[in-house]
Structures are given as structure tokens and as C-alpha cells.
Chain A
Amino acid sequence: MNLFLFRRVLGLLATVLAASLVVFIVLEVLPSDPAALMLGTDARPDTLAALRRELGLDQPSWWRFVTWIGNLLRGDLGISYTYRVPVSELIGARVEVTLPLAMMAIGLSTSIAIPIGVFSASRRGAASDTAMMAGAQLGIAMPNFWLGILFILVFAVWLGWFPAGGFAGWDKGVGAALHSLVLPAFALALPQAAILSRVTRASVLETLGQDYVRTARAKGLTATVALWRHAVPNALIPVATILGLQFSFLLAGTVIIENVFTLPGLGRLMFQSIAQRDLIVVQDLVVLMATSVIVINFVVDMIYRLLDPRIGAGAQ
């Protein structure tokens, strides 16, 4: 197991390195340079050259890649071309929006999906089960950004309960900040909840058929107690892994939802940096996102192996 773990971690590092190389090469062949964008249409060639020198863009690209990776390993994300502040500072400010949003979405989707899934499973075949699963199908089919627009239409334009977009900022108080995240979090959470409720239902139904649950029932436990004490906890293992796998989708989802609600999060930083050719910020962001997806998938994989030793043998 230790050797296996070591090899996996090594593979993980190689993947991250490969990802950063891919990103760097792609951005390297992008047309145009940040200096031209910053100085505008009246810039003179000598002014452009001076700015490129100042930004270090006159260095050969292999050298810029090596310095970038070297600095990354030391935890230094570099200096933004456009803003001239440490990239870590920029990203840090945006994480304050994206992370709470993602957490709220995960929290909402699990707290909606698990009760629905369990309830639906316990009423298998009943009208309520059918209705809930039909609702879930609908939820999966609705694009989250459309849901977001509909929320804006109903809750911001018609009812005026929430802002149509924008972020109040944490300095306006936790309440105000969370208030501006409610609609985007729901828009992100509902389609995820729809998927998760179906997984939960299927998983609970499977455990309900297992011997230990039948035994529990035979011992005289009521259906409800057997369900919640024995079936549900076991059913949640696959649910948790699905949650981990959904992380990548959630990340992409927040990027779009931030655009719908104009939240100053990582996704908007990404679009903005690409438009401004703030390449170092783009590189850092892509590596950051790719790494978090890789690491989370790795962790999920490891947990799954620990919980279910059969998989380790099969996949080796």
C-alpha cells in the first residue's frame, strides 16, 4: 500500500507538472501581448518595448517557464502584469467569493438531495417517489445559468428580494455578503441536487436489499429505524464519492454562474485576465484549478479504496 501510495503521489505530481506545461505552451502561442493592451492605441514602439522590459516579457520563454515553475514551488505565484500586485493577493481576494459560493452550493445540494433521495427510496413506486424523481429529471436538464437568469427575473426583477447581481463585500457584514450569494448558490445547487438525489435513492435502494438490513428488520427494528440506522449510512459512501467527482463540474459551474450574477470570483478573474492577456494570472489560475481537481479526485479515490478494499484488487 505504501509503495502504491508513493507511486500515485508521484503520478499526481507529474500530472500537475504536465498540466502547467500544457497551459504555458498554449498561452505562449496566444496572439498579442499584455503591453499593447495596457498602453492602448496611441502607444509608440519604444514605449511598448520599455513596458515589455519592465514586465520581463523580453526574456526567452523557456526561461520564463523555469522561473515561473521555480517560484510556484516556493509558493510564489508571481506579479500580475496588469495590476502589478502579487497574484496571490488577487487570487486570495477572489477566493473569498468563490469558495463560500461553492461551499454554500455543496451544502444546499446535499441537504436538499439526501432527504429527497432517502424519502423517495423509502416510498419506492409511490406517487410521491415518481413525482420527486420526475422533478429530479427536470432539474438535471435545466442549465444552471438559465436557472440563474430565471431567479434574477423572479426574485430580483419582479419581487425585488435579492440584488440582480454583484457582491456586497464581506466588509458590509456577513449577512449582506451571504445575501448576495443566495441566488447564485441555489442556481448552482439545484441541478447538482437533482443528480445527487437520484444517486442517493439508487444507493439506498441497493443497501435496503442487503442482508444486514434485512437482519435488522428481522430483529424487530421498525422500517424507519432500519432505514436511518443501517441503510442510509452505508448508502452515503457512493454518494460522497459522487460529490467529489462533481467538484470539477462545480468549478466550471461557478465560472458561468459568476458571469450570470457578476460576482467578483475566480471565474471572472479568469475571463478578465485572458481578455487583458494577464498571462501569469491565467497560468496560476489554471494550475490552481487543475491541481485542486486532481487532488480531490485522488483523495476520493483513496477514501474509496479504504472503505471498499475490493476495488484496489480489481483495478490494479
Chain B
Amino acid sequence: MKRLLTATLIAAALASPAYAAKDTITVGMQLEPPNLDPTGGAAAAIREVNYLNMFEGLTRVDENLNPHPLLAESWTISADGLTYTFKLHTGVKFHDGAAFDCSVVKFTYERAVGPDSTNGQKGYFEPIAKTECPDPATAVVTLKRPTGRFLFAMGLSDSVMISPATAATNKATPVGTGPFRFSRWVKGDRVEMLRNDSYWGAKPALKMVTFRFISDPTAAAAAVMAGDLDAFPNFPAPETLDQIRADKRFTVAIGTSSGKVVLSLNNARAPFDDVRVRRALAHAIDRKALIDALGGGGTPIGSHYVPGDAAYIDLSNTYPYDPAKARALLAEAGVKPGFVMTLRLPPPAYARRGGEVIAAMLEQVGITAKIENIEWAQWLDQVFGKSTNFDATIVAHVEARDLDVFARDFYYFNYKNTEYRAIYAKYIEAADPAAQIALAQQLQRKLAEDQPAVFLYAGAKTGVWNAKLRGLWINGPIPANHMAVVSWVD
């Protein structure tokens, strides 16, 4: 008996490192989430930790932004496009044991539009007229008007199901229905989550996921190379990629993101109210050189849409790099050489470093761009806020499919174009996918022509991870780390 036990122990000791595949992962992120409630803030970091891991919605979107069933196993849409009938999965439980049924759907959607809602995307829920529960496994959502992207919007992180019992405490101790449950949060350092063993769907391969927050690019690169991190899905140190590529231990995956880096102009302020000036600025900037100088990769764009999305059309050559043409257009618009404009730059490197490069390019066409580096708080206040007190800024618009920002009554570009708004109104109500795509392309062309902002490039999503990892998203159209489909191979 004793000998047998010893033999077993030895076998186990020998076996465990060699045969059992690794079932934990440490994932690096640059920013720490301010809280962990996906319905209480817009920070991308909240979504990167939570989405599809701890929380789930009725639908989910995949790497290409297509909606799929999740907590709703199927649905029907009425002919007028106003009534969505969702058939819900049964037997689904929150991590605290509370049951998921239609009452949770009703609570979640009503809370999101309620007066105390702090949902960063309250606009997604605004079309909802009412949510009804004919039986616990059926949710009937009635809309005020047809909304082409409703299933897409209900699949995003802001639309996940929240239990009434834990809605108030999700910020510090999130409770959802997802395949992972919250374990602990060491502020300033990490969030840990464990596999939810009573998960209703397929069990994840990983037993434990740790998100570590390393804001400094150099430290992030060092942590990856030291093996402290297994993956850094949004790797912030492009200047070290050559070294990492040369190392067999790692995979470097360059994918697309929804980030559109633009030189936003204040269309209400002279001379940027003159389309010739805006086109001149577009001609003055060498997008390829800018992308090279920043080193993070990307694709030049000419409108507010990204490659990889089905409706994308390449308009990057509408106003090709041509300083002579730019000077001519400026002269035509009456902008004298030596014209001074201010460039207010928020903290990210693409803005601060990109701003220095763009200022040098504008110098070539006789425009002096005075750089003012500001914090996000000041950016939100001075550039984005009601006063829109700025000439130009550089910023990445990261929301997916956000053509709506140019159609809003108030938005900081001050682009008030009735033609664009008319096309947009048709686009948002179009139910037929082919018609949606055609209208999206019409919108892209209109923006390319008008250049309310100088569209610079679509940011790449650079991921670095251990070569033995499978399943991580290469593209990052929305902030997410779908860990349930990630596994190790030998």
C-alpha cells in the first residue's frame, strides 16, 4: 500500500509539469479600470476586463462585429421592425446564485434609461419603448422606431445583464452570469477572476485569469520579455516589436481596431469653416510618414470608417499628400503664410508625438501650429465640452461604427451639414443589410469630401502573446478580451 502510494506520488510529481497543460493566464493591460461595473462608466479598461468574461448580454458581437445569440438563444423581429421577441436560455444563474430570467432583462433595460442611470451609452437604450415578460423565458422589447443596429447595440458591454440584487455593488465586486467570476482586485496592480464552475454554457479551458495593469510602455515590454505576462493584447511599445518578433517564444499579431485617429477641426471657427482650408490641411499631411514616425502601425484613411468592416471603402487618396496643392488651396481661401493655429493635444502618444510630426508638416505649407499639451480632463472641458474652444486637436475615435457623431445636433467638430444628416437618418432606420451598407458608404464619401476632420489613419491593434496561446482576438473592433475561448497548447 505504502509503496503504491509512493509510486503514485512520484508519478504525479513527474506527470504534472510535463502533461497537464497550463490553465492560468496573466494578461497585461495599459490602463486600470476605474471600477468594474460595465454599466457605470465608459472606460475601455472596464470592458476589456469584464466583457464576455464576467458579464453577458442577450447577444454578443464577435471579432468582426457580427451579433450572435448569447443569453437569448434566439429571437424574432416583427415585420415593422419595432418588436423584438427574445427566447431566453433557462437555468442561467448569476455568480451569487440569483436566477436569470425576463425580469432581469426588464430591470436592466429600464435601469439603463432611468433618471439615475450612469450608463455611458444611454443612447443605445433610448429607442426602447417598453420591455415585457409574457413568461420568465421570453422577453418582448418594443422600440419607438426601427433601429437597424439594435441587436448589435444589445450585444455590447454597456448592455450586459445586471442582477437587481447586486446592481449597486458591481463597481467593486462585479456579479454577472459569465464564464468567469470575480476573485479579487489589488488596486493599482491587478484584477483576478476564476472559472465559474456552474456556468450555463461551455466551460472555459482556463481556471484563472489575472489582468495586470502596467501603464509604462517600457515596463510593459520588459514584463512581456521577462515572461511575467503571458499576453499583452493591446501592446503599447511598438518600438520594441522588432526585438519581440525575433524571439521564438512570442507571437506578434497585428490586427485592426475601430480606432480612427483624426485631426479634428473646429468647423465653426474661421478659417476651418472653409472646406478649402480643411482640404488643404488634408493635402499637407503625409499619412504614411506619420504612421511610420509613430511606429505603431496603421492604415491611412480618408473617412470615418475602418478597414475590416464590411461597409469600408478606401478613400485615403481623396486628398493625397501634396504640399504645393495645399499651399495653393490655402492661398485661394485667403489664409496667409505664417498663419498661427493652436493644436490642443490630449495625453496619448499618438496625439502628443503625432502632434509634433503634424506641426512640422504644417510648417512646410506655411502654417504654424502651436502645441498645447493638456490632460484628458482639460480636453473634455475645453475641446469637447460645450464651449468647444479650440482650433484643432488630435484624438482617436474608438467607438465602432460611430458615423452618428457627425450627425449630432451638438458635437465638438461643429459640423452641421443637413445633407449628411438626411443620409444618416435613412441609414439608421434601414433594416435591410445591403441598404445599410450602401448608405454607410454614401456617408463615408460625404465625410471624405467635406473633411470636417482630417482623417489620418486607422490604428492597428498590436497584440503580443506567448506562442503557445490560442484563441486570443487578433482584431479589436471593440475593447474586449474574450478569455473563455483562450487555451494553452503544448
Chain A residues proximal to chain B, CB less than 8 Å: 30-32, 36-44, 46-47, 50-51, 53-54, 82-85, 89-90, 93-94, 152, 156, 163-167, 169, 261-262, 264, 268-269, 274-277
Compute how far the CA of A164 lies from the CA of B218 in the bound complex, rounded to whole angstroms: 7
Set of chain A residues within 8 Å of B118, measured between Cβ atoms: 38-39, 47, 50-51, 54
Compute how far the CA of A314 lies from the CA of B116 in the bound complex, rounded to whole angstroms: 64
- Contacting A37 at CB < 8 Å: which of B123, B189, B219, B377? B377
Compute how far the CA of A156 lies from the CA of B221 in the bound complex, rounded to whole angstroms: 12
Known contacts A39-B41, A83-B35, A275-B377; is-contact A163 B188 (Cβ 8 Å): no
Set of chain B residues within 8 Å of A274, measured between Cβ atoms: 375
Compute how far the CA of A166 lies from the CA of B187 in the bound complex, rounded to whole angstroms: 14
- Contacting B223 at CB < 8 Å: which of A38, A50, A166? A166
Known contacts A262-B214, A275-B347, A275-B377; is-contact A38 B122 (Cβ 8 Å): no
24 contacts between A and B (CB under 8 A): A30-B377, A32-B380, A38-B43, A40-B42, A42-B123, A44-B122, A46-B117, A50-B117, A51-B118, A53-B116, A84-B172, A85-B187, A90-B188, A93-B188, A164-B218, A164-B219, A165-B218, A165-B219, A165-B222, A166-B223, A262-B214, A275-B347, A275-B376, A276-B377
Q: Which residue of B lies closest to A35 (CB)?
A: B118
Compute how far the CA of A40 lies from the CA of B121 in the bound complex, rounded to whole angstroms: 9
Q: Is the CB of A42 within 8 A of B218?
A: no
Known contacts A32-B381, A36-B381; is-contact A47 B122 (Cβ 8 Å): yes
Is B115 at the interface (CB under 8 A from chain A)?
yes
Set of chain B residues within 8 Å of A275, measured between Cβ atoms: 347, 375-377
Set of chain A residues within 8 Å of B186, measured between Cβ atoms: 93, 169
Q: Is the CB of A42 within 8 A of B378?
A: no
**Chain B 210-226, CB within 8 Å of chain A: the 1/0 string?**
00001110110111001
Set of chain B residues within 8 Å of A89, measured between Cβ atoms: 187
Is B399 at the interface (CB under 8 A from chain A)?
yes
Set of chain A residues within 8 Å of B238, measured between Cβ atoms: none
Chain B residues proximal to chain A, CB less than 8 Å: 34-35, 40-43, 115-123, 171-172, 186-190, 214-216, 218-219, 221-223, 226, 228, 347, 375-378, 380-382, 384-385, 399
Q: Which residue of A lies closest to B42 (CB)?
A: A40
Known contacts A84-B35, A262-B219, A275-B377; is-contact A31 B122 (Cβ 8 Å): no
Known contacts A166-B214, A262-B216; is-contact A90 B187 (Cβ 8 Å): yes
Set of chain B residues within 8 Å of A93, measured between Cβ atoms: 186-188
Q: Is the interface of B mostly helix, strand, loop or mixed?
A: loop
The 3 closest A-B pairs by CB, nearest first: A40-B42, A165-B219, A164-B222
Set of chain A residues within 8 Å of B34, measured between Cβ atoms: 38, 82-83, 276
B214 → chain A closest CB, angstroms:
6
Set of chain A residues within 8 Å of B347, measured between Cβ atoms: 275
A47 → chain B closest CB, angstroms:
5
Q: Which residue of A lies closest to B395 (CB)?
A: A41
Q: Which residue of B lies closest to A164 (CB)?
A: B222
Q: Is the CB of B187 within 8 A of A42?
A: no
Compute how far the CA of A38 lies from the CA of B44 in the bound complex, rounded to whole angstroms: 11
Q: Which residue of B lies closest to A44 (CB)?
A: B122
A181 → chain B closest CB, angstroms:
14
Q: Is the CB of B384 within 8 A of A41?
A: yes
Set of chain A residues within 8 Å of B41, measured between Cβ atoms: 38-40
Compute how far the CA of A41 lies from the CA of B44 in the bound complex, rounded to whole angstroms: 12
Known contacts A47-B120, A93-B188; is-contact A32 B377 (Cβ 8 Å): yes
Compute how far the CA of A149 lies from the CA of B187 in the bound complex, rounded to whole angstroms: 26
Set of chain A residues within 8 Å of B190, measured between Cβ atoms: 169
B188 → chain A closest CB, angstroms:
4
Compute how far the CA of A90 lies from the CA of B172 in the bound complex, rounded to whole angstroms: 13
B457 → chain A closest CB, angstroms:
20
A258 → chain B closest CB, angstroms:
11
Compute how far the CA of A39 lies from the CA of B122 in the bound complex, rounded to whole angstroms: 10
Q: Is the CB of A167 within 8 A of B399?
A: no
Q: Is the CB of B226 within 8 A of A163?
A: yes
Compute how far the CA of A125 lies from the CA of B117 in the bound complex, rounded to whole angstroms: 75
Set of chain B residues within 8 Å of A41, measured between Cβ atoms: 42, 380, 384
Compute how far the CA of A166 lies from the CA of B26 in the bound complex, rounded to whole angstroms: 15
Q: Is the CB of A269 within 8 A of B188?
A: yes
Q: Is the CB of B120 within 8 A of A268?
A: no
Compute how far the CA of A274 lies from the CA of B375 in the bound complex, rounded to whole angstroms: 9
Set of chain B residues within 8 Å of A39, measured between Cβ atoms: 41-42, 118, 120
Compute how far the CA of A62 lies from the CA of B443 in the bound complex, rounded to whole angstroms: 50
Q: Is the CB of A38 within 8 A of B216?
A: no
Q: Is the CB of B216 within 8 A of A46?
A: no
Q: Which residue of A lies closest to B190 (CB)?
A: A169
Beyond A41-B380, A169-B190, A264-B189, list 17 extra A-B contacts (CB 8 Å): A30-B377, A36-B377, A40-B41, A42-B42, A43-B42, A43-B120, A47-B122, A54-B116, A83-B34, A93-B186, A152-B218, A163-B223, A164-B218, A169-B189, A261-B219, A275-B347, A275-B377
Compute how far the CA of A89 lies from the CA of B69 in the bound complex, rounded to whole angstroms: 40
Q: Is the CB of A42 within 8 A of B399?
A: yes
Compute how far the CA of A31 lies from the CA of B383 in the bound complex, rounded to whole angstroms: 12
A161 → chain B closest CB, angstroms:
12
Q: Is the CB of B376 within 8 A of A37?
A: yes
Q: Which residue of B lies closest to A166 (CB)?
A: B219
Q: Is the CB of A94 within 8 A of B376?
A: no
Q: Is the CB of A277 within 8 A of B35?
A: no
B375 → chain A closest CB, angstroms:
5
Q: Which residue of A lies closest to B381 (CB)?
A: A32
Q: Which residue of A lies closest to B213 (CB)?
A: A264
Set of chain B residues within 8 Å of A169, measured between Cβ atoms: 186, 189-190
Compute how far the CA of A94 lies from the CA of B186 in the bound complex, rounded to whole angstroms: 10
Compute how far the CA of A85 lies from the CA of B115 in the bound complex, rounded to whole angstroms: 24
Compute how far the CA of A167 lies from the CA of B377 in the bound complex, rounded to whole angstroms: 28
Set of chain B residues within 8 Å of A31, measured between Cβ atoms: 377-378, 381-382
Known contacts A166-B219, A166-B223; is-contact A277 B377 (Cβ 8 Å): yes
Set of chain B residues within 8 Å of A32, measured between Cβ atoms: 377-378, 380-381, 385
B386 → chain A closest CB, angstroms:
10
- Contacting A167 at CB < 8 Å: which of B116, B189, B381, B385? B189
